[in-house]
């Protein structure tokens, strides 16, 4: 600096300020006292949330700014909400956090093994039991899982045979509830008195009763002069 009175010269350090220029990656240091244009310098960036797609990137020294898409990290299960339904990710630059529903794919592992439920976008994965909708038919039942849509046609699993009435007994499938009704399988046993027999169903509790024989004469004779008969 030069004194306007005596002409003396006094040297002072520049007081630089960062000034925007056309170069998108740099600014220039310009003295605020004498307007001397100094060095070029790379921007010192900071980030600020703008909207769900973009953030604002600006230089903390010269104020130059622009808008960029978020720099999201990988999705991770969102444990603070419900990791079985949601995942989240965070922008590595501005720190904005967002969460979304899983993109679920279910894979059948077998009737008894269940299915694997996994997200195609994050690390969430677990094995769950099938949730079957079961439809009964006379010769089988069909089970379809409501989650993975696995379909199984299986024979009935019948339990104990129980007496219904004097003619029928029934048994029920423990899986689908189908009731199969059949006639008794009667077994007769002759008693030693020659005039009575007992009868009972071979498959259920019906029977254990005694009845008189119902004789029917045979059409041939086993002894000369005598007719033979058997219980019908």
Q: Which residues of the chain have pLDDT under 50?
A: 228-232
Residues 46-76 pLDDT 10s: 999 999 899 999 999 888 989 999 999 999 9
* Whole-number pLDDT of residue 231: 47
Per-residue pLDDT, 225: 55
Residue 2, pLDDT score? 54
The residue count of the chain comes to 232
Task: Report in angstroms the alpha-carbon separations of 47 from 24, 38, 58, 65, 156.
Answer: 16, 27, 6, 9, 65
What pLDDT is attached to residue 189? 78
162-163 vs 151-154, strand pairing mode: unpaired
C-alpha of 73 from chain center:
25
pLDDT, residue 186, reads 83
Rounded distance between C-alpha atoms, residue 88 and residue 9, angstroms = 64
Please tell me what DSSP assigns to residue 2.
B
The helix (run of H) or strand (run of E) holding residue 196 is strand 196-201
Q: What is the Cα–Cα distance from 138 to 228, expressed in whole angstroms?
A: 46
Token pair of 15, please? Answer: 């007081």
d(Cα 19, Cα 97) in Å, to the nearest integer? 33
All residues at 6 or more sequence positions from 110 whose CB lies less than 8 Å from its CB, including other chains? none
What is the DSSP-derived secondary structure letter of residue 128? Answer: E
């Amino acid at each position: 600096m030069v004194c306007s009175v005596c002409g003396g010269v006094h040297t002072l350090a520049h007081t630089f300020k960062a000034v925007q220029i056309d170069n998108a990656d740099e600014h220039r240091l310009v003295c605020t006292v004498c307007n001397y244009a100094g060095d070029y310098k790379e921007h010192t960036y900071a980030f600020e949330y703008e909207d769900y797609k973009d953030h604002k990137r600006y230089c903390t020294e010269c104020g130059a700014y622009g808008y960029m898409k978020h720099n999201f990290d990988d999705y991770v299960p969102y444990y603070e909400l419900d990791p079985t339904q949601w995942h989240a990710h965070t922008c590595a630059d501005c720190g904005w956090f967002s969460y979304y529903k899983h993109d679920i794919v279910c894979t059948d592992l077998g009737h008894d093994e269940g299915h694997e439920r996994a997200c195609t976008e994050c690390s969430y994965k677990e094995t769950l039991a099938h949730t079957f909708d079961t439809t009964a038919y006379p010769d089988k039942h069909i089970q379809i899982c409501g989650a993975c849509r696995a379909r199984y046609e299986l024979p009935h699993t019948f339990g104990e045979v129980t007496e219904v009435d004097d003619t029928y007994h029934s048994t029920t499938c423990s899986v689908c509830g189908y009731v199969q009704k059949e006639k008794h399988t009667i077994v007769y046993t002759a008693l030693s008195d020659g005039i009575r027999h007992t009868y009972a169903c071979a498959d259920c509790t019906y029977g254990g009763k005694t009845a008189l024989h119902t004789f029917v004469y045979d059409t041939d004779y086993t002894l000369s002069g005598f007719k033979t008969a058997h219980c019908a």
